[in-house]
Homo-oligomer: A and B are copies of this chain.
Amino acid sequence: MRYPAAETAEKHARIVEQAGRLFRERGFSGVSVGEIMKETGLTHGPFYNHFASKEALIAESLAQASRMSLAGVAGASPNAAGKAAYIASYLSPAHRDAPGAGCLMAALGCDISREPGVRPTFTTHLKTTLERMASHFPWSSKRHERRDTIRTLSAMVGAMVLARAVDDEALSEEILRETLSGLV
């Protein structure tokens, strides 16, 4: 049956949102089109009324997650305390335990390397993230802000990947805590 146009656009957005969450939680190949549609409250058929393919949805959900993530940087206070709070929030058990709403790079970094179609979108995301972090937060010097941002982000992403992979709560928290104390 035909539905109001506004409802269709809202459903499209909901599919993208659910996909972004599920992909970060379980990886691109760990989530089926049917599961995403069920999560959105629909059957799997109309998926192809909204997207050309699963790969098209992956690209769109990545772009959407990227926008959300960049808004997070922009929303932090542009001073030393804001930077420390941002990094502490990133390296928190809460972020570790909620990959579906968290950092793209930590959740899908490995998967993206293997999925040629999404690497350009991810590259743009990383470039923009580095630029925004470098200019938004205070660093030791203007000259080294990009270098320092890269070092900080590498440590943040690596710590989150390791903290999520281990099966030992104490070790996981130790990784987050020690990495955090080296960055703030």
Spell out A's residues near B (CB within 8 Å): 25-27, 29-30, 99, 105-114, 119-120, 122-123, 126-127, 146-147, 150-151, 153-162, 164-168, 171, 174-175, 178-179, 181-182
Q: A157 touching B161 by the CB < 8 A rule? A: yes
Q: Which residues of B contact A127 (CB under 8 A)?
A: 168, 171
Copies in the complex: 2
Residues of A contacting B: mostly: helix
Q: A162 touching B154 by the CB < 8 A rule? A: yes
In the assembled complex, the Cα of A150 lies from the Cα of B156 at a distance in Å of 12
Q: A27 touching B165 by the CB < 8 A rule? A: no
Given contacts A29-B29, A150-B174, is CB(A113)–CB(B158) below 8 Å?
Answer: no
- Give the residue among A99, A162, A168, A174 with the most B Cβ atoms within 10 A: A162
Q: B30 touching A161 by the CB < 8 A rule? A: no
Given contacts A162-B126, A171-B126, is CB(A27)–CB(B111) below 8 Å?
Answer: yes
